[in-house]
Amino acid sequence: MNIVIKNATIVDSSSAFNHQKVDIKIENGVITEIASNITADQYEMISLENLHVSSGWMDASVSFGEPGFEDRETIANGLNVAAKSGFTQIAYQPNTFPVIDSQSIVSFVKTKAASSATTLHPIGALTKGEEGTDLAEMFDMQNAGAIAFGDYKKSIANANLLKIGLQYTQDFGATVIAFCNDASIKGKGVVHEGVQSTLLGLKGIPPLAEEIVLARNLFLLEYTGGKMHVPTISTAKSVAMIKEAKAKGLQVTCSVAVHNLVLTDAVLSDFDTRFKVNPPVRDSIHQQALINGVLDGTIDVITSDHCTIDIEHKKMEFDMAKDGTIGLESAFGALLEILPLDVVIEKLQAAKSIFLNDSITIKVGEKADLTLFDPSKEWTFTKNDIMSKSKNSAFLNHKMKGYVYGICHNNQLIIK
């Protein structure tokens, strides 16, 4: 692949060309020149309106379904969606069938993704079958390519099991992903516990369900050492507790889902199951605390928490519908409605340094790992913009600011 990206404004705080408009020459997947007015015979010229370029983004939580749930999404199409949504890398959740809890299944999903422009990094299950009983074969999975270990949307009820997991993973430097939700406190709750749940007559999930498990997990981390990532926090107290843990010097990072940042439980008024997610979208007080946590650096990563659900499990009574929304296609445009561009780019890239120890920047000699976008285009996200096989988007008909063109990665250029 030999191309020249023309008149691109670079958004990369670690690059010497940050906020400069330049041409970028790429030869066989490597950046060979950055300058003004590059000309090159037999090179494809890429010219797009109001083009901006950053180092490639990584989504820290993506679920497609394959193997086992190909009716929801395949790896091949899902990675194409990720590429056209601006993500050069994704962390792939283990909630497949069979669960990604062994070396062979890690190898299988990596092989399925090997030729894609977007790189798939498997997350291995922390426990066998994600059943919370016995630890999975984590060392073997890491040798096969797993980048971290956690049970998707499942808290480890057995505190001693999580303690042993944190101790064991230190031997090979792995990160434990610890979702926080007390099932007994959540009970049959389906939405945030508050005024809106009372008005709608829906059972509520109190913030305590998340916070009590997070408090326990942070105590365990302080006791054992090791590295812990807390995915998709949703409450003001969770932000405060993680901020305090970081001040103590604990190796803890966390993420927030786009929908928890952008939406509140006010969207539930029509009982639309597209908004049924876990953790639930909460009220404006929690939403603002999450935004503040992003801005002050407490929250490290923003994830789409992309989770494909087939129509048979989503178009049904609210209590019975499965949790989850797709989010790759809408992530960037939704975030720019509430956050500055530089912050959005930083938080969409942060997972690379946490899970991959990757500090690739935009400079001559580096592999081209680039996301191409227009940060000012205003548009409305409609069903026609959904590229995923499943259509369960919480941002359908949402007004967006910022449009993704595609990516340049793995010696491939993918443009919508």
Judged on CB neighbours under 10 Å (0-12, 13-18, 19+), 383 is exposed
Judged on CB neighbours under 10 Å (0-12, 13-18, 19+), 134 is exposed
* Angstrom distance (rounded) from CA 26 to CA 211: 47
Tokens of residue 46, six digits: 């890429």
* Angstrom distance (rounded) from CA 220 to CA 416: 45
Tokens of residue 106, six digits: 């890690």
Closest CA to 210 of 187, 188, 179: 179
Can you name the residues that pair with 194 across neighbouring β-strands?
none
Which own/partner contact pairs does 354-357 have at CB distance under 8 Å and 24+ positions apart?
A: 354/60, 354/175, 354/229, 354/253, 354/300, 354/301, 355/58, 355/60, 355/91, 355/121, 355/147, 355/148, 355/175, 355/229, 356/58, 356/89, 356/121, 356/147
Contact predicate 178/228, CB 8 Å: yes
Tell me the HSE value of 93 on the side-chain side, using a 13 A CA sphere.
26
Contact predicate 145/110, CB 8 Å: yes
* Angstrom distance (rounded) from CA 58 to CA 345: 10
Q: Which candidate in 270, 305, 319, 369 is catalytic? A: 305
Tokens of residue 65, six digits: 């379904």
Q: Is 309 helix (H, G, I), strand (E, B) or coil?
A: coil
> Is 305 an annotated catalytic residue?
yes
Tokens of residue 193, six digits: 């516990």
Residue located via tokens 């993680």: 242
- Residues annotated as catalytic are 305
